[in-house]
Amino acid sequence: MINIENIVNADDVQVMLDRGTTAFIIPNPNKEAKILDALTKAKTKGLKFYKKDEIPVKYHIKNNRRVSPILLIAEKGYFVRGVGI
C-alpha cells in the first residue's frame, strides 16, 4: 500500500480523487510544485506520477479538461491510499 499522506503534506492538497490503482490530486493554490517535489524525492516503489501536461498518450486522458493537475498510477501489486483516510 502506498500511503500518500506519508509523502505529501495534507494541507497542500485541496482534493484527492479516487484511490486504488489510479488517483488524482488537485493541489491547493501554489502547491503543485511542492507536491511534485515531495513525490519525486520520495522515490516510492510502485508509484508513478505525472503532471497533467506530461501524462503519456497511452492513458488517453491528457487533453481532458476534467483531469486534475497530478495523476498517480500504482503499479501492479500496489494500491494508492488517499489523503485523510
Regarding the domain delimited by 2-81, which CATH topology (the fold level of the hierarchy) does it fall under?
Answer: Gyrase A; domain 2 (3.30.1360)
For the chain, which residues make up each domain, given as ranges? Answer: 2-81
Tally the C-alpha atoms within 13 A of residue 17's C-alpha that lie toward its C-beta.
10
pLDDT tier at 19 (50, 70, 90 boundaries)?
A: confident
pLDDT digits (tens, 9 = 90+) for 20-79: 899 999 999 999 999 999 999 999 999 999 999 999 999 898 889 999 999 999 999 999
Interatomic CA distance for residues 9 and 29, integer angstroms: 14
pTM for the whole structure:
0.90
